[in-house]
Chains A and B, each alone.
Chain A
Amino acid sequence: DAGVIQSPRHEVTEMGQEVTLRCKPISGHDYLFWYRQTMMRGLELLIYFNNNVPIDDSGMPEDRFSAKMPNASFSTLKIQPSEPRDSAVYFCASSLNSNAEAFFGQGTRLTVV
């Protein structure tokens, strides 16, 4: 398996624009997680899905953030409108049911100017 695949690797956008980050989890994994990493706050869980259903979105900073998982092999994290403080590295991770070991993608480095 190729592992968790994220795109794009880098994204630079202007404040106010919509940003969409994409993730393909490892085939067969039931859980998908979206994390944000910054120097100040470290790794923060934004939202996670189980069998394509959002379970806990309490980490989503505000209504500008939304995430979907239309099928078992694809998820998106959308920020609309984007703000400079959203600049961070966003990671997607997946894991097997009943197994806490999460496998991470390479991340998307987002810069909002």
Chain B
Amino acid sequence: GQQLNQSPQSMFIQEGEDVSMNCTSSSIFNTWLWYKQEPGEGPVLLIALYKAGELTSNGRLTAQFGITRKDSFLNISASIPSDVGIYFCAGPMWSNYQLIWGAGTKLIIKP
């Protein structure tokens, strides 16, 4: 079945560093979604991508929909302490609106 492989699993970075994470799939997706989850909260949608090659920014966040439609990446520039959390990629299955989820990338910022 469809699966999303998200990497890295976790990242330990210094404040101010740039961050990059990605998701790959063996299947084609028409939509890529990036969510962030903070402790004790539900996932919050950060960026939605709908077209192959699309590059979209949301403040210091930038995400791209891969040309092959089988991958996407999320970059965070100049990280700050509030960027801490788990970042998930997700995409809907072809047959319905059921989202397939990556396992998440846990971002930890060293003081």
Contacts and interface: CB of A to CB of B under 8 A. Distances in A.
Contacts, number: 45
Chain B: number of interface residues, binned into ranges? 10 to 19
Please classify how large the interface on chain A is, using the bins under 10, 10 to 19, 20 to 34, 35 or more: 20 to 34
B48 interface: yes
Contacts of B92: 100
Given A42-B101, A42-B104, A93 B42 contact: yes
B45 A48 contact: no
Contact of B45 (A33, A102, A105, A107): A102
A100 B103 contact: no
A84 B30 CA distance: 39
Chain A interface, DSSP helix/strand/loop, else mixed: strand
A15 B16 CA distance: 47
Nearest to B101: A43
B98 A101 contact: no
Q: Which 7 A-B pairs have the closest CB atoms?
A: A104-B42, A100-B92, A43-B101, A100-B31, A104-B43, A107-B42, A91-B42
